[in-house]
Amino acid sequence: MPDFSEQSFLNAHFLNPDRSNLPEIRKLGYAFVDLIVDGVLDTQNQAFIQDSSPFVSIIPEQGEALTEIIDAVRSQILPRTINFHNPRYMGHMDSIPAAVSIWADALISAVNNNMLSYELSPIFTQMEAQLMQWFGNLFGMGTDCFGTLTAGGSLANISAMLLARNWKQPQSKDLGNIDHLVAFVSDAAHTSFEKAMNVVGLGKDNLLRVPSNDRGEIILEALESMVQQQIQLGKQPFFIAAIAGTTITGAVDPIQAVGRLAKQYDCWFHVDAAYGGAGIFTPKLQPLFQGCDLADSLTFNPQKWLWVSRTCAMLLVKNRQHLIDGFDGKLPYMDDQTLNFGNLNLQGTRRTDSLKLWMVLKSMGTSGCQYMVERSLELSDRLVKWINDDPELELVCEPTLNIICLRSANPDVSSSDLRQKWIDEGKLWLSLPLWKGDRILKAVILHPYAG
């Protein structure tokens, strides 16, 4: 039974200014290092899930010893997690983080600065600003580009929609929605665009879903005719997005052509590169990103294909002023001459995620990012070859990135049965998305040792 006198209670939770408990605090850290290395990272040979039994949590009246809690995490919590460290897991867009990102996350928590304002995060405000300009330049978004990190791609897409509405109808910031605005994305685009229309108050029915081809790329002629149709109905198109890496097939829309159409109809042009954005690091995929210079905004998630731990996503804008005007934020308790990210983001208090992103980029370098992205493409080619060599399997469509969609070619075995069999055998963990009316199998090749 631990000692719960006031001083020992405080010492268990915080460093004493007299430094007497420095060794205990350090020991606690080492216990976490062992837990993470042995209990999480070194589980590549272990099952996808070891224990599926229900978990029951009881919060005690008297706090328990930290060593006991760590033991409980090891024996009861970790076996119930889904094991992304197993190289045969390739179901969704879930990468394992680079080692440095894991430790950086603990560092971020320890420093605990706040992206709300410059005075609460001086170095990280500078770091995030520089990283946003660096990524904006990488995508060719011009000298006036800027952006903000967000807690995920959905939040970045919602923010883009808000900026677009406030650009098209600045009065809406004060008066609410005043006109019949309509937005366009393909039927393969992420569901966060519906969420965005709901949040911005424009209504999900005013998001028009443009048909895509068999691969999941937007059909341009359909886009243009739908835009014209809406204008004839008295609606005002304000937002068109191209997707760079759709969530199911990893398709990349013709960015430049969609962007030109958006500009022709005086619409905000958004590129959702939440998934595919990392492709910009390799010359093999760079041609697909032509036209990002036309983008008013762009979403990119390093937490998906750049091996940065969650959360780490960003919204980039071509014109810094759009971000300032769009949020129109003021922090009465802060100097309004300085850069305060709390004014440029839907979130207020926010983690300093720039630190782990910066550490991953510094340690990999752009050549390392290129190597890692190309490595996932090569591992994907191997999977495609394996599918083509097996008469029981077939590709659903030619992959563009490291997302491979396949199905059972045997009429007696459904894709769903095949998936369950593979999971039960520990062979592969694939997902089972609904694609053009059918359940298919999807593999996302993110694990550096996938296979």
Ligand X SMILES: *Cc1c(COP(=O)(O)O)cnc(C)c1O
- Please report how close the Cβ of residue 303 comes to ligand X at its closest, in angstroms: 7
- Of the pair 261, 312, the CB lying nearest ligand X is at 312
d(CA 153, CA 298): 10
**Cβ contacts of residue 276 below 8 Å, gap of 6+?**
243, 244, 245, 250, 252, 285, 288, 305, 401
On whether the CB atoms of residues 370 and 281 are closer than 8 A, the answer is yes
**In whole angstroms, how close is the CB of 250 to ligand X at the nearest point?**
9
Shortest distance (Å) from residue 136 CB to ligand X: 19
Shortest Å, Cβ 230 to ligand X: 23
Nearer to ligand X, 120 or 440 (CB): 440
Cβ 312 to ligand X, closest distance in Å? Answer: 9
Residue whose tokens read 């992205």: 373
Contact 341, 115 (CB under 8 A): yes
Least distance in Å: CB of 46 to ligand X? 26
Q: Are strands 438-439 and 434-435 parallel, antiparallel or unpaired?
A: antiparallel
Q: Give CA–CA dist 83/9, Å, rounded.
A: 35
Q: Are 400 and 252 in contact (CB under 8 A)?
A: yes
Identify which of residues 190 and 447 has a Cβ nearer to ligand X in the complex. 190
Rounded CA-CA distance 200/218 in Å is: 24
By CB under 6 A, name the binding residues for ligand X: 93, 152-154, 157, 190, 192, 243, 245-247, 272, 274-275, 301, 313
Shortest Cβ distance from residue 31 to ligand X (Å)? 31
Shortest spacing between CB 131 and ligand X, in angstroms: 18
The dihedral built from the CA positions of residue 398, 309, 316 and 182, taken in this order, carries a sign that is positive
For the beta sheet containing 393-395, the strands, ordered from the edge strand earlier in sequence to the opposite edge, are 393-395, 403-408, 441-444
CB nearer to ligand X: give 218 or 274.
274
- In 36-82, the DSSP E strands lie at none
Which residues are CB-contacts of 77 (< 8 A; sequence separation ≥ 6)? 55
Which residue number is nearest to ligand X in terms of Cβ?
153
CA–CA separation, 273 and 104 (whole Å):
25
- Gap between the Cα atoms of 139 and 132, Å rounded: 11
Alpha carbon distance 379, 369 (integer Å): 15
Report the nearest approach of ligand X to the CB of residue 159 (Å).
11
Rg (CA), the chain: 24
Nearer to ligand X, 86 or 157 (CB): 157
Query: Cα 151 from chain centroid?
Result: 8
Residues 187 and 209 sit within 8 Å (Cβ to Cβ): yes
Closest approach, Cβ 292 to ligand X, in A, equals: 15
Closer Cβ to ligand X, 147 or 153, answer by number: 153
Between 295 and 393, name the residue whose CB sits nearer to ligand X: 295
Taking the least distance from each CB to ligand X, the nearer of 154 and 166 is: 154
Distance in Å, CB of 266 to ligand X, minimum: 25
- Cα distances (angstroms) measured from residue 293 to each of 140, 253, 255, 299: 5, 15, 10, 14
Q: Which is nearer to ligand X, 118 or 268 (CB)?
A: 268
Task: Pick between residue 116 and residue 248 the one whose CB is nearest to ligand X.
Answer: 248
Determine how many CB atoms are found less than 10 A away from the CB of residue 38.
Answer: 12
Q: Which is nearer to ligand X, 147 or 152 (CB)?
A: 152
Residues 313-326, buried b or exposed e (16+ Cβ, 10 A)? bbbbbbbbebbeeb
